[in-house]
Amino acid sequence: MTAPVHALPRRIDTDADSVERDLFKLVLTIVELVRQLMERQALRRVDEGDLSDEQVEALGQALMRLDQAMTDLRGRYGLTVQDLNLDLGPLGPLLGE
């Protein structure tokens, strides 16, 4: 009988920095996905006229601050928006093109 072939090595070589960076990358990917969904929802509500001028202004300011915070956090770990865009195989990229 032959020994089973393992697709992964028995031990994965990692260090604290790479684990931290990879975890941070995953968290930022989720935050970026939620940010994009919030932005689309906000634009839909603006287009439908559901918001007052003050609400539109506040929403725009909040989205700009969130975008700036994401840029700062990506910069801290040397990540780009493309680094956060997971390839889902036949479904395409997670965050769109």
Range of the domain at 72: 18-82
- Tell whether 75 is covered by a domain: yes
Which residues partner with 87 through β-bridges? 93
- Please name the amino acid found at residue 81: V
Work out the angle at residue 59's Cα, subtended by the Cα atoms of residues 55 and 72, and round it to the nearest 5 degrees: 160
Q: Are 94 and 86 in contact (CB under 8 A)?
A: yes
- Tell whether 93 is covered by a domain: no
- Tell whether 67 is covered by a domain: yes
Domain tally, the chain:
1
- Tell whether 89 is covered by a domain: no
- Tell whether 43 is covered by a domain: yes
- Tell whether 51 is covered by a domain: yes
pLDDT, position 91? 82
- Cα separation, 49 vs 55, whole angstroms: 11
This prediction's pTM: 0.71
Mean per-residue pLDDT, 39-57 = 92
